[in-house]
Amino acid sequence: MSKMYGSMLCPDCVEAKEYFEKINYKYDFVNITESMTNLKEFLHLRDTRKEFEEVKSLGYVGIPAILTDDNKIILGDDVLKIK
For the segment 43-59, the average pLDDT, to the nearest whole number, is 97
Residue range 54-66: mean pLDDT, rounded? 97
pLDDT at residue number 83: 86
| Residue 50 CB coordination number (10 Å) | 7
d(CA 21, CA 15): 10
What proportion of the chain, given as a percentage, has pLDDT over 70? 100
CB atoms within 10 A of CB 75: 19
User: Which pLDDT belongs to residue 1?
Assistant: 93
- What string of DSSP letters covers 20-71? HHHHT--EEEEETTT-HHHHHHHHHHHHH-GGGHHHHHTT----SEEE-TTS
Arithmetic mean of pLDDT, 51-73: 97
Domain 2-81, CATH class in plain words: alpha beta
What's residue 62's pLDDT? Answer: 97
pTM of the model: 0.94
pLDDT digits (tens, 9 = 90+) for 23-35: 999 999 999 999 9
Task: Quote the mean pLDDT of the chain.
Answer: 97
